[in-house]
Amino acid sequence: MEPNTLLDSVLDEAGVSHAGLAAHVNEAGRARGMKLRYEHTAVARWLKGQRPRGQVPDLICEVLGERLHRALTLDDIGLGTPGSPRGPATSLSGFVERATALWRSDEQQRPHVVEAPAVTGTPAVIPVWEWENPPEDSDVSRRGLTRVSMTDIETLRAARAHYEQMYRKAGGVATRTRVVGFLNSEAAPLLRGAYADDTGRQLHRATGGLVAIAGICAYDSNAHGLAQRYFHQALRLAKASGDRGLGAYVIALLVNQCLFMKEYRQAVAFAESALRATGSQITPALAADLYAMQAKAYARLGDGAGALSCIRRAETAADRIRPGQEPDETGYVQPGLVNVQVAEALLSLGDLGGAREHATAAVGTPAHDRGRVHRLAMLTHIELRQGDADRAGATAVEMTERARGMESQRLRDRLRAVREHLAASGSAATAEAAELIDGALRVPL
Protein backbone atom coordinates (compact mmCIF):
# COMPACT_ATOMS: atom_id res chain seq x y z
CA MET A 1 0.00 0.00 0.00
CA GLU A 2 1.59 3.23 -1.18
CA PRO A 3 0.73 6.78 0.03
CA ASN A 4 -1.76 8.62 -2.18
CA THR A 5 0.26 11.75 -2.91
CA LEU A 6 -2.13 12.85 -5.67
CA LEU A 7 -5.07 13.08 -3.28
CA ASP A 8 -2.85 14.87 -0.79
CA SER A 9 -1.81 17.38 -3.45
CA VAL A 10 -5.40 18.05 -4.59
CA LEU A 11 -6.54 18.46 -0.98
CA ASP A 12 -3.80 21.00 -0.42
CA GLU A 13 -4.68 22.86 -3.61
CA ALA A 14 -8.36 22.98 -2.62
CA GLY A 15 -7.55 24.16 0.90
CA VAL A 16 -9.68 21.43 2.48
CA SER A 17 -8.77 19.82 5.80
CA HIS A 18 -9.08 16.12 6.51
CA ALA A 19 -12.11 16.74 8.71
CA GLY A 20 -13.57 19.07 6.09
CA LEU A 21 -13.30 16.50 3.31
CA ALA A 22 -14.91 13.83 5.50
CA ALA A 23 -17.82 16.16 6.31
CA HIS A 24 -18.36 17.15 2.68
CA VAL A 25 -18.26 13.51 1.53
CA ASN A 26 -20.85 12.60 4.19
CA GLU A 27 -23.07 15.46 2.99
CA ALA A 28 -22.69 14.51 -0.69
CA GLY A 29 -23.54 10.92 0.23
CA ARG A 30 -26.71 11.97 2.01
CA ALA A 31 -27.82 13.75 -1.14
CA ARG A 32 -27.64 10.34 -2.85
CA GLY A 33 -29.46 8.56 -0.05
CA MET A 34 -26.30 7.14 1.54
CA LYS A 35 -25.61 7.09 5.28
CA LEU A 36 -21.92 7.91 5.65
CA ARG A 37 -20.13 8.73 8.91
CA TYR A 38 -16.58 9.43 7.85
CA GLU A 39 -14.21 11.38 10.09
CA HIS A 40 -10.72 12.80 9.63
CA THR A 41 -9.21 9.43 10.53
CA ALA A 42 -10.77 7.90 7.40
CA VAL A 43 -9.16 10.58 5.22
CA ALA A 44 -5.81 9.86 6.87
CA ARG A 45 -6.21 6.19 5.86
CA TRP A 46 -7.03 7.19 2.28
CA LEU A 47 -3.86 9.29 2.16
CA LYS A 48 -1.86 6.29 3.38
CA GLY A 49 -3.14 4.33 0.38
CA GLN A 50 -6.39 2.71 1.48
CA ARG A 51 -9.08 2.85 -1.22
CA PRO A 52 -12.56 3.97 -0.09
CA ARG A 53 -15.42 1.60 -0.84
CA GLY A 54 -18.29 1.85 -3.31
CA GLN A 55 -19.16 5.27 -4.66
CA VAL A 56 -17.00 7.20 -2.20
CA PRO A 57 -14.13 7.84 -4.69
CA ASP A 58 -16.68 9.46 -7.04
CA LEU A 59 -17.97 11.57 -4.16
CA ILE A 60 -14.44 12.76 -3.42
CA CYS A 61 -14.05 13.80 -7.07
CA GLU A 62 -17.36 15.66 -6.89
CA VAL A 63 -16.54 17.48 -3.64
CA LEU A 64 -13.02 18.53 -4.61
CA GLY A 65 -14.01 19.30 -8.22
CA GLU A 66 -16.67 21.75 -7.02
CA ARG A 67 -14.12 23.40 -4.75
CA LEU A 68 -11.56 23.76 -7.55
CA HIS A 69 -14.14 24.65 -10.24
CA ARG A 70 -12.98 21.89 -12.57
CA ALA A 71 -13.89 18.27 -13.25
CA LEU A 72 -11.70 15.67 -11.56
CA THR A 73 -11.27 12.04 -12.56
CA LEU A 74 -10.40 9.13 -10.29
CA ASP A 75 -6.90 9.15 -11.77
CA ASP A 76 -6.56 12.83 -10.81
CA ILE A 77 -6.98 11.92 -7.14
CA GLY A 78 -4.98 8.71 -7.24
CA LEU A 79 -8.01 6.43 -7.03
CA GLY A 80 -8.13 5.06 -10.57
CA THR A 81 -8.96 1.39 -10.97
CA PRO A 82 -5.90 -0.67 -9.99
CA GLY A 83 -4.39 -2.54 -12.92
CA SER A 84 -6.21 -0.54 -15.58
CA PRO A 85 -4.21 -0.35 -18.84
CA ARG A 86 -2.49 2.89 -19.73
CA GLY A 87 -0.88 3.90 -22.99
CA PRO A 88 2.75 5.04 -23.05
CA ALA A 89 1.98 8.76 -23.52
CA THR A 90 -0.71 8.78 -20.83
CA SER A 91 1.56 6.80 -18.55
CA LEU A 92 4.39 9.33 -18.81
CA SER A 93 2.06 12.30 -18.40
CA GLY A 94 0.37 10.69 -15.42
CA PHE A 95 3.76 9.78 -14.00
CA VAL A 96 4.83 13.44 -14.05
CA GLU A 97 1.78 14.42 -12.00
CA ARG A 98 2.35 11.63 -9.49
CA ALA A 99 6.05 12.39 -9.22
CA THR A 100 5.59 16.10 -8.62
CA ALA A 101 2.84 15.36 -6.08
CA LEU A 102 5.34 13.24 -4.13
CA TRP A 103 7.94 16.01 -4.20
CA ARG A 104 5.39 18.47 -2.86
CA SER A 105 4.29 16.12 -0.09
CA ASP A 106 7.90 15.45 0.88
CA GLU A 107 8.73 19.16 1.03
CA GLN A 108 5.71 19.63 3.30
CA GLN A 109 6.90 16.72 5.45
CA ARG A 110 3.64 14.78 5.20
CA PRO A 111 4.02 11.88 7.67
CA HIS A 112 2.19 9.34 5.49
CA VAL A 113 4.78 9.99 2.78
CA VAL A 114 7.97 10.44 4.79
CA GLU A 115 7.27 7.52 7.12
CA ALA A 116 5.92 5.08 4.51
CA PRO A 117 7.62 1.66 4.60
CA ALA A 118 9.46 0.25 1.60
CA VAL A 119 7.45 -2.11 -0.60
CA THR A 120 8.61 -5.67 -1.16
CA GLY A 121 7.77 -8.52 -3.52
CA THR A 122 6.04 -7.78 -6.83
CA PRO A 123 5.53 -4.00 -6.25
CA ALA A 124 9.29 -3.66 -5.73
CA VAL A 125 10.14 -5.67 -8.85
CA ILE A 126 7.67 -4.16 -11.35
CA PRO A 127 9.49 -0.79 -11.85
CA VAL A 128 12.73 -2.63 -12.70
CA TRP A 129 10.91 -5.01 -15.06
CA GLU A 130 9.14 -2.10 -16.79
CA TRP A 131 12.46 -0.29 -17.23
CA GLU A 132 14.09 -3.29 -18.88
CA ASN A 133 11.20 -4.34 -21.13
CA PRO A 134 9.10 -2.71 -23.90
CA PRO A 135 7.27 -0.57 -24.69
CA GLU A 136 9.69 2.33 -24.99
CA ASP A 137 8.59 5.97 -25.07
CA SER A 138 8.41 6.78 -28.79
CA ASP A 139 7.88 10.50 -28.22
CA VAL A 140 8.31 12.44 -24.97
CA SER A 141 7.50 15.88 -26.39
CA ARG A 142 4.96 17.97 -24.52
CA ARG A 143 2.91 21.09 -24.97
CA GLY A 144 3.04 23.57 -22.14
CA LEU A 145 3.14 27.25 -21.31
CA THR A 146 6.90 27.59 -20.80
CA ARG A 147 9.41 26.63 -23.49
CA VAL A 148 12.26 24.53 -22.04
CA SER A 149 15.74 25.51 -23.22
CA MET A 150 19.16 23.91 -23.01
CA THR A 151 20.03 26.55 -20.43
CA ASP A 152 17.30 25.11 -18.20
CA ILE A 153 18.70 21.62 -18.62
CA GLU A 154 22.24 22.79 -17.83
CA THR A 155 20.86 24.34 -14.64
CA LEU A 156 19.42 20.97 -13.60
CA ARG A 157 22.73 19.22 -14.35
CA ALA A 158 24.67 21.76 -12.32
CA ALA A 159 22.21 21.38 -9.46
CA ARG A 160 22.68 17.62 -9.43
CA ALA A 161 26.45 18.00 -9.12
CA HIS A 162 26.03 20.64 -6.40
CA TYR A 163 23.68 18.56 -4.27
CA GLU A 164 25.79 15.43 -4.70
CA GLN A 165 28.80 17.27 -3.29
CA MET A 166 26.67 18.70 -0.47
CA TYR A 167 25.49 15.18 0.39
CA ARG A 168 29.05 13.88 0.52
CA LYS A 169 30.18 16.68 2.82
CA ALA A 170 27.13 17.30 5.03
CA GLY A 171 25.03 14.12 4.74
CA GLY A 172 21.56 13.35 3.46
CA VAL A 173 19.57 14.83 6.35
CA ALA A 174 20.78 18.35 5.63
CA THR A 175 20.77 17.98 1.85
CA ARG A 176 17.36 16.38 1.27
CA THR A 177 15.24 19.44 2.06
CA ARG A 178 17.30 21.50 -0.37
CA VAL A 179 17.24 19.11 -3.30
CA VAL A 180 13.50 18.42 -2.85
CA GLY A 181 12.83 22.15 -2.68
CA PHE A 182 14.73 22.56 -5.94
CA LEU A 183 12.73 19.77 -7.59
CA ASN A 184 9.50 21.52 -6.65
CA SER A 185 10.53 25.05 -7.60
CA GLU A 186 12.63 24.37 -10.71
CA ALA A 187 12.24 20.85 -12.11
CA ALA A 188 8.46 20.43 -11.77
CA PRO A 189 7.56 23.50 -13.91
CA LEU A 190 10.03 22.36 -16.59
CA LEU A 191 8.54 18.85 -16.79
CA ARG A 192 5.14 20.48 -17.31
CA GLY A 193 6.58 22.88 -19.90
CA ALA A 194 6.86 22.77 -23.70
CA TYR A 195 9.60 20.78 -25.39
CA ALA A 196 10.35 18.70 -28.48
CA ASP A 197 11.27 15.03 -28.20
CA ASP A 198 15.05 15.52 -28.21
CA THR A 199 14.96 18.28 -25.61
CA GLY A 200 12.44 16.29 -23.58
CA ARG A 201 14.76 13.29 -23.39
CA GLN A 202 17.60 15.45 -22.10
CA LEU A 203 15.20 17.09 -19.64
CA HIS A 204 14.04 13.73 -18.30
CA ARG A 205 17.63 12.56 -17.98
CA ALA A 206 18.73 15.66 -16.06
CA THR A 207 15.69 15.44 -13.78
CA GLY A 208 16.30 11.72 -13.25
CA GLY A 209 19.79 12.46 -11.96
CA LEU A 210 18.39 14.98 -9.48
CA VAL A 211 15.62 12.64 -8.32
CA ALA A 212 18.22 9.93 -7.72
CA ILE A 213 20.09 12.32 -5.39
CA ALA A 214 16.82 12.96 -3.53
CA GLY A 215 16.47 9.19 -3.13
CA ILE A 216 20.03 8.86 -1.84
CA CYS A 217 19.36 11.59 0.73
CA ALA A 218 16.10 9.92 1.82
CA TYR A 219 17.95 6.60 2.18
CA ASP A 220 20.61 8.35 4.25
CA SER A 221 17.81 9.76 6.45
CA ASN A 222 16.36 6.27 7.13
CA ALA A 223 13.23 7.11 5.09
CA HIS A 224 13.47 3.89 3.11
CA GLY A 225 9.98 3.83 1.61
CA LEU A 226 10.44 7.38 0.36
CA ALA A 227 13.92 6.59 -0.97
CA GLN A 228 12.56 3.60 -2.87
CA ARG A 229 9.85 5.73 -4.48
CA TYR A 230 12.43 8.31 -5.57
CA PHE A 231 14.58 5.55 -7.07
CA HIS A 232 11.55 4.17 -8.93
CA GLN A 233 10.81 7.67 -10.23
CA ALA A 234 14.41 8.11 -11.37
CA LEU A 235 14.18 4.78 -13.17
CA ARG A 236 11.04 5.90 -15.04
CA LEU A 237 12.73 9.18 -15.97
CA ALA A 238 15.75 7.23 -17.20
CA LYS A 239 13.52 5.14 -19.44
CA ALA A 240 11.92 8.27 -20.88
CA SER A 241 15.38 9.69 -21.57
CA GLY A 242 16.42 6.59 -23.50
CA ASP A 243 19.69 6.45 -21.54
CA ARG A 244 20.25 2.85 -20.43
CA GLY A 245 23.34 3.84 -18.47
CA LEU A 246 21.36 6.19 -16.24
CA GLY A 247 18.84 3.43 -15.59
CA ALA A 248 21.62 1.00 -14.65
CA TYR A 249 23.01 3.59 -12.22
CA VAL A 250 19.60 3.94 -10.56
CA ILE A 251 19.31 0.16 -10.29
CA ALA A 252 22.70 0.15 -8.56
CA LEU A 253 21.15 2.43 -5.95
CA LEU A 254 18.25 0.00 -5.57
CA VAL A 255 20.71 -2.90 -5.24
CA ASN A 256 22.49 -1.05 -2.44
CA GLN A 257 19.17 -0.54 -0.66
CA CYS A 258 18.27 -4.22 -1.14
CA LEU A 259 21.53 -5.18 0.58
CA PHE A 260 20.68 -2.93 3.51
CA MET A 261 17.19 -4.43 3.73
CA LYS A 262 18.69 -7.96 3.53
CA GLU A 263 16.84 -8.70 0.27
CA TYR A 264 19.89 -10.52 -1.07
CA ARG A 265 18.27 -12.54 -3.87
CA GLN A 266 16.55 -9.41 -5.12
CA ALA A 267 19.89 -7.59 -5.05
CA VAL A 268 21.43 -10.26 -7.27
CA ALA A 269 18.47 -10.18 -9.67
CA PHE A 270 18.38 -6.38 -9.92
CA ALA A 271 22.12 -6.18 -10.61
CA GLU A 272 21.80 -8.86 -13.27
CA SER A 273 18.95 -6.90 -14.88
CA ALA A 274 21.11 -3.77 -15.09
CA LEU A 275 24.08 -5.65 -16.51
CA ARG A 276 21.90 -7.53 -19.02
CA ALA A 277 19.88 -4.56 -20.25
CA THR A 278 22.84 -2.20 -20.59
CA GLY A 279 25.11 -4.76 -22.26
CA SER A 280 28.23 -3.42 -23.92
CA GLN A 281 27.11 0.16 -23.18
CA ILE A 282 27.73 -0.22 -19.46
CA THR A 283 30.73 1.72 -18.16
CA PRO A 284 33.55 -0.05 -16.30
CA ALA A 285 32.85 1.87 -13.07
CA LEU A 286 29.20 0.91 -12.96
CA ALA A 287 29.93 -2.70 -13.91
CA ALA A 288 32.54 -2.90 -11.15
CA ASP A 289 30.08 -1.61 -8.53
CA LEU A 290 27.25 -3.92 -9.66
CA TYR A 291 29.49 -7.00 -9.65
CA ALA A 292 30.93 -6.04 -6.24
CA MET A 293 27.46 -5.68 -4.75
CA GLN A 294 26.43 -8.98 -6.30
CA ALA A 295 29.46 -10.52 -4.59
CA LYS A 296 28.26 -9.19 -1.23
CA ALA A 297 24.78 -10.59 -1.83
CA TYR A 298 26.09 -14.02 -2.85
CA ALA A 299 28.36 -14.06 0.21
CA ARG A 300 25.40 -13.30 2.47
CA LEU A 301 23.51 -16.14 0.82
CA GLY A 302 26.40 -18.49 1.56
CA ASP A 303 27.27 -18.94 -2.11
CA GLY A 304 31.06 -18.71 -2.01
CA ALA A 305 31.56 -19.70 -5.65
CA GLY A 306 29.10 -17.05 -6.84
CA ALA A 307 30.73 -14.42 -4.63
CA LEU A 308 34.27 -15.16 -5.80
CA SER A 309 33.19 -15.16 -9.45
CA CYS A 310 31.62 -11.71 -9.04
CA ILE A 311 34.71 -10.46 -7.17
CA ARG A 312 36.88 -11.41 -10.13
CA ARG A 313 34.51 -9.64 -12.53
CA ALA A 314 34.39 -6.56 -10.31
CA GLU A 315 38.18 -6.36 -10.15
CA THR A 316 38.51 -6.82 -13.93
CA ALA A 317 36.00 -4.03 -14.56
CA ALA A 318 37.71 -1.76 -12.00
CA ASP A 319 41.01 -2.14 -13.86
CA ARG A 320 39.33 -0.72 -16.98
CA ILE A 321 38.06 2.49 -15.32
CA ARG A 322 39.48 5.58 -17.00
CA PRO A 323 38.95 9.01 -15.36
CA GLY A 324 37.16 11.41 -17.65
CA GLN A 325 35.43 8.65 -19.60
CA GLU A 326 32.61 8.05 -17.13
CA PRO A 327 29.29 9.93 -16.76
CA ASP A 328 28.92 12.26 -13.79
CA GLU A 329 26.67 9.84 -11.92
CA THR A 330 29.33 7.12 -11.59
CA GLY A 331 31.79 9.51 -9.94
CA TYR A 332 30.99 7.77 -6.65
CA VAL A 333 32.94 4.72 -7.88
CA GLN A 334 36.21 6.16 -6.66
CA PRO A 335 39.47 4.20 -6.34
CA GLY A 336 39.16 1.88 -3.35
CA LEU A 337 35.37 1.51 -3.48
CA VAL A 338 35.55 -1.96 -5.02
CA ASN A 339 38.17 -2.92 -2.42
CA VAL A 340 35.87 -2.10 0.48
CA GLN A 341 32.95 -3.91 -1.18
CA VAL A 342 35.16 -6.98 -1.74
CA ALA A 343 36.38 -6.76 1.86
CA GLU A 344 32.80 -6.96 3.09
CA ALA A 345 32.09 -9.97 0.87
CA LEU A 346 35.22 -11.78 2.04
CA LEU A 347 34.37 -10.98 5.66
CA SER A 348 30.99 -12.67 5.20
CA LEU A 349 32.79 -15.68 3.74
CA GLY A 350 35.12 -15.84 6.77
CA ASP A 351 38.30 -14.85 4.89
CA LEU A 352 39.60 -12.34 7.47
CA GLY A 353 43.07 -12.08 5.94
CA GLY A 354 41.76 -11.29 2.47
CA ALA A 355 39.17 -8.92 3.90
CA ARG A 356 41.81 -6.96 5.84
CA GLU A 357 44.07 -6.73 2.81
CA HIS A 358 41.30 -5.19 0.71
CA ALA A 359 40.04 -2.92 3.52
CA THR A 360 43.58 -1.63 4.14
CA ALA A 361 43.99 -0.92 0.42
CA ALA A 362 40.67 0.97 0.43
CA VAL A 363 41.69 3.12 3.41
CA GLY A 364 45.05 3.83 1.79
CA THR A 365 43.35 5.24 -1.31
CA PRO A 366 42.17 8.91 -1.33
CA ALA A 367 38.39 9.35 -0.98
CA HIS A 368 35.88 12.01 0.07
CA ASP A 369 35.22 12.12 3.82
CA ARG A 370 31.96 10.21 3.70
CA GLY A 371 33.45 7.31 1.78
CA ARG A 372 36.48 7.30 4.04
CA VAL A 373 34.29 6.93 7.15
CA HIS A 374 32.70 3.78 5.75
CA ARG A 375 36.10 2.37 4.77
CA LEU A 376 37.53 3.02 8.23
CA ALA A 377 34.47 1.44 9.84
CA MET A 378 34.95 -1.73 7.80
CA LEU A 379 38.66 -1.88 8.65
CA THR A 380 37.90 -1.37 12.37
CA HIS A 381 35.47 -4.28 12.33
CA ILE A 382 37.97 -6.59 10.60
CA GLU A 383 40.80 -5.60 12.96
CA LEU A 384 38.57 -6.40 15.94
CA ARG A 385 37.63 -9.74 14.42
CA GLN A 386 41.34 -10.54 14.14
CA GLY A 387 41.93 -9.55 17.78
CA ASP A 388 44.04 -6.47 16.97
CA ALA A 389 42.34 -4.18 19.52
CA ASP A 390 45.12 -1.56 19.59
CA ARG A 391 44.99 -1.00 15.87
CA ALA A 392 41.18 -1.12 15.81
CA GLY A 393 40.98 1.59 18.47
CA ALA A 394 43.24 3.90 16.47
CA THR A 395 41.28 3.28 13.27
CA ALA A 396 37.98 3.96 15.06
CA VAL A 397 39.33 7.27 16.40
CA GLU A 398 40.19 8.43 12.88
CA MET A 399 36.75 7.27 11.66
CA THR A 400 34.95 9.27 14.35
CA GLU A 401 36.92 12.44 13.65
CA ARG A 402 36.11 12.16 9.93
CA ALA A 403 32.39 11.76 10.70
CA ARG A 404 32.06 14.94 12.75
CA GLY A 405 29.64 17.49 11.30
CA MET A 406 27.88 15.07 8.94
CA GLU A 407 24.10 14.83 9.33
CA SER A 408 23.52 11.24 8.30
CA GLN A 409 21.45 8.48 9.87
CA ARG A 410 23.44 5.90 7.91
CA LEU A 411 26.73 7.12 9.37
CA ARG A 412 25.22 7.26 12.87
CA ASP A 413 24.11 3.65 12.46
CA ARG A 414 27.62 2.76 11.34
CA LEU A 415 29.13 4.51 14.36
CA ARG A 416 26.76 2.67 16.71
CA ALA A 417 27.71 -0.67 15.17
CA VAL A 418 31.42 0.08 15.59
CA ARG A 419 30.77 1.22 19.18
CA GLU A 420 29.10 -2.11 19.95
CA HIS A 421 32.01 -4.05 18.47
CA LEU A 422 34.52 -1.98 20.45
CA ALA A 423 32.60 -2.56 23.68
CA ALA A 424 32.33 -6.28 22.97
CA SER A 425 36.11 -6.57 22.62
CA GLY A 426 36.53 -5.82 26.33
CA SER A 427 39.90 -4.19 25.70
CA ALA A 428 41.22 -1.06 27.38
CA ALA A 429 42.77 -0.11 24.03
CA THR A 430 39.33 0.59 22.58
CA ALA A 431 38.01 2.73 25.46
CA GLU A 432 39.11 6.09 24.01
CA ALA A 433 37.50 5.35 20.64
CA ALA A 434 34.24 4.20 22.27
CA GLU A 435 34.12 7.41 24.32
CA LEU A 436 34.67 9.54 21.22
CA ILE A 437 31.84 7.75 19.42
CA ASP A 438 29.53 8.28 22.40
CA GLY A 439 30.25 11.99 22.22
CA ALA A 440 29.62 12.13 18.48
CA LEU A 441 26.30 10.30 18.87
CA ARG A 442 25.12 12.73 21.55
CA VAL A 443 25.07 15.53 18.97
CA PRO A 444 21.46 15.63 17.66
CA LEU A 445 20.66 15.74 13.96
pLDDT, position 81? 67
- Model confidence band, residue 82 (pLDDT cutoffs 50, 70, 90): low
CATH number assigned to the domain comprising residue 422: 1.25.40
Closest to 247 in 3D by CA, of 232, 258, 263, 229: 232
Residue 96: in which H helix or E strand, if any?
Answer: helix 88-107
- What's the number of domains the chain is made of? 2
Whole-number pLDDT of residue 249: 97
Percent with pLDDT over 90 in the chain: 78
- Do 43 and 107 fall into the same domain? no
Q: What is the 3-state secondary structure (H, E, C) of 348-384?
A: HCCCHHHHHHHHHHHHCCCCCHHHHHHHHHHHHHHHH
Closest CA to 132 of 259, 276, 32: 276
273 and 219 in a single domain? The answer is yes
Percent of the chain with pLDDT over 70: 97
Q: What pTM was computed for the model?
A: 0.86
What does the pLDDT average to over 284-300? 98
* pLDDT for res 89: 35
Q: Assess whether 210 and 143 both reside in one domain.
A: yes
| 3 state SS of 147 | strand
Q: What is the pLDDT of residue 91?
A: 65
Instruction: Find out whether 224 and 118 touch, Cβ atoms under 8 Å.
Output: yes
Residue 126's identity, in one-letter code, is I
* Overall average pLDDT of the 99-128 stretch: 92
In the predicted model, what is the mean pLDDT of residues 6-18? 88
**Hey, which residues does 195 pair with through a beta bridge?**
142
What does the alpha-carbon distance between residue 75 and residue 6 come to, in Å, rounded to a whole number?
A: 9
Q: Which domain holds residue 222?
A: 102-286+362-442
- pLDDT tens-digit map of 247-281: 999 999 999 999 999 999 999 999 999 999 999 88
Residue 417 has pLDDT above 50, yes or no: yes
- One DSSP character per residue, 250-297 reads HHHHHHHHHHHTT-HHHHHHHHHHHHHHHGGGS-HHHHHHHHHHHHHH
Looking at the fold, whether 155 and 237 belong to one and the same domain comes out as yes
| Highest mean pLDDT (candidates 71-85, 227-241, 322-336, 424-438) | 227-241
Whether residue 107 sits in one domain with residue 70 = no
Query: Long-range CB contacts (< 8 A, 24+ apart) of 165-169?
Result: 167/213, 167/216, 167/217, 167/220, 167/370, 168/368, 168/369, 168/370, 168/371, 169/368, 169/369, 169/370, 169/406
CA proximity to 214, closest of 190, 188, 193: 188
Helix pair angle (224-241, 244-260), 10° resolution: 160
**Shared domain check, 115 and 68:** no
- Indicate if 154 and 273 belong to the same structural domain: yes
What is the mean pLDDT of the segment spanning 290-309?
A: 98
**Do 182 and 104 contact (CB within 8 A), yes or no?**
no
- Is 316 a residue whose pLDDT tops 50? yes
pLDDT band at 2 (very low <50, low <70, confident <90, very high): confident
